[in-house]
Amino acid sequence: MRMHIGASLLSAWLIIFGAPAGRVWAAEFKAKVVDGAGRPLANAILDVELTERGVDGKIIHVQRLKLVSDQRGLVKGTYEEKKISTEDIRVYISKAGYENYSTGLGDEYILKRSFGPRDVRRIARLSGEAQKAELKELLVGDYESQRKEEDLFELTFLYYPELRSALLALLADPTARGNATQLLSFVAVPDDLRLVIQHAAAPSKDGLFANRWAYAVVSALLDPVMEEEWAFLKKCALGEYDDRWVDSGAIRSLRLMASPRSREILDEVGRKNL
């Protein structure tokens, strides 16, 4: 599954340095490549295309750089400094076994390892720390391109008995928690949902979909028992996770319950929205 790309666009470090009269000025391109868990990724290839345009918008000149990340994930190269708009810089990022893509100018690029159905079955046969480590790699990687073959959620449901312990353990890992939460919420075992809520992250401001994982939880939470579960539903319904999908999912679940407690929360939500 593709958890969404987090590169900081339009802010790559462009260090301009002078040269004696008559010499061409040069600029330095610097960036960092990390994997889905935020770890430095070596030997990633960045093909950088810099396009210079005239006042009429027509292409005058195209420069190309081919860079390779080092052990710290860093890439660096120089190019002839001309009147190049940041909108005319394209970066093509690739590495064998990873989900390649192209984007604009950034100071950090995330390259996720590719996984498919065969990997899920392989991980299901593992146990202990080995299974946990491999499952984490899958969750911070990229399964999206393979979903037309076999859906990751359906495979998780099929292999749930084998994967449950590792999924629950990964609720404590900030890099894998969001995807582990969504998979456990899809299976929707009540005891698992309680653990999911106990490990739930606080509302985040880090992006448009940063809190979308909560939608999966509230959509599955149809029989709350513990006070923590009711409190979580209430926070979501009141908009504390700043995501309309989360709000509507919590409200829909509360309506489906049609219990005195759920109606009480819905009344509070209604008063807030007046």
Check residue 27 and give its pLDDT. 78
> Is the distance from CB of 37 to CB of 141 less than 8 angstroms?
no
Per-residue pLDDT averaged across 46-63, rounded?
89
pLDDT band at 147 (very low <50, low <70, confident <90, very high): low
Lowest mean pLDDT among 29-33, 40-44, 46-50, 56-60: 56-60
Phi (first) and psi of residue 50, to 5 degrees: -115, 120
CA 100 to chain CA centroid, nearest Å: 15
What local confidence, expressed as pLDDT, does residue 138 receive?
A: 97
Confidence of residue 204 (pLDDT cuts 50, 70, 90): confident
Amino acid at 199: H
Please return the burial class of 83, using the count of CB atoms within 10 Å of its CB with bins 0-12, 13-18 and 19+: exposed
Tokens read off for 17: 């340095």
- Token pair of 34, please? 């990390």
Residue pLDDT, tens place only, 205-223: 887 788 999 999 999 999 9
0.85 surpassed by pTM: no
Residues 187, 163, 137, 202: what is their CA dihedral angle, to the nearest 10 degrees?
Answer: 50
pLDDT digits (tens, 9 = 90+) for 166-183: 999 999 999 999 999 999
Share of the chain above pLDDT 90, in %: 70
Across the range 48-74, mean pLDDT stands at 91
Q: Which of 37, 19, 41 is nearest to 28 (CA)?
A: 19
Band the pLDDT of 18: cuts 50, 70, 90: very low
Q: Coil, strand or helix: which one is 140?
A: coil
Structure-token match 């909560």, residue found:
214
In tens, the pLDDT along 65-117 reads 999 999 999 999 888 877 777 788 899 999 999 999 999 989 999 999 999 99
SS3 50: strand
